[in-house]
Amino acid sequence: MKTVLSTFPNRDAAEKAVAELRRKGFDKDISIVARDEQNREKNQYTTMGTDNITDGATTGGMLGGLTGLAVGAGALAIPGIGPLIAAGPIAGLLSGAATGGIAGGLVDWGIPQDRSKFYEERVKQGSILVSIHTDDNHINEAADTLRRFGAQDVETH
């Protein structure tokens, strides 16, 4: 299994890429991490949930359709970063590694520490992290799809 990591500068591009990945059958392999601007503004911090938010109900539409495109989304607060929305397989890693932040969760997933810190910093700056964890046979298809929809910082590990 390998992981494709990417960032998107805006929600619309990320939503389109994730929707296309779902159409291609990557449903359970997609992870999303983004700053929770709605709760940041309200100074509300919640803990990671395990609800299936395919209907978008758990997050109350905080990221519009984006979180509705992945399963297992929830909100959590990470020291130094603040409130986040995380969905997909990475959500469980982040909830278990809250003290290690996004970088700690990515390292646990096998991403080198320097690249993990890079992606954590991109999310801090407001980018949306979209990753796909899949087998070697589908990794190029996933990376190409992300790039086609405007992904930045696309890497395979």
Q: What is the pLDDT of residues 72-130, one digit of tens each?
A: 556 666 666 777 778 888 777 676 555 577 888 888 888 999 999 999 999 999 999 99
- Structural domain of 48: 2-156
pTM: 0.78
DSSP string, 9-72: SSHHHHHHHHHHHHHTT-GGGEEEEEE-HHHHHHT----------TTSTTTTTTTTTTGGGSSS
Split at pLDDT 50, 70, 90, the class of 35 is confident
Structural domains in the chain (count): 1
Contact indicator for 156, 13 with CB cutoff of 8 Å: no
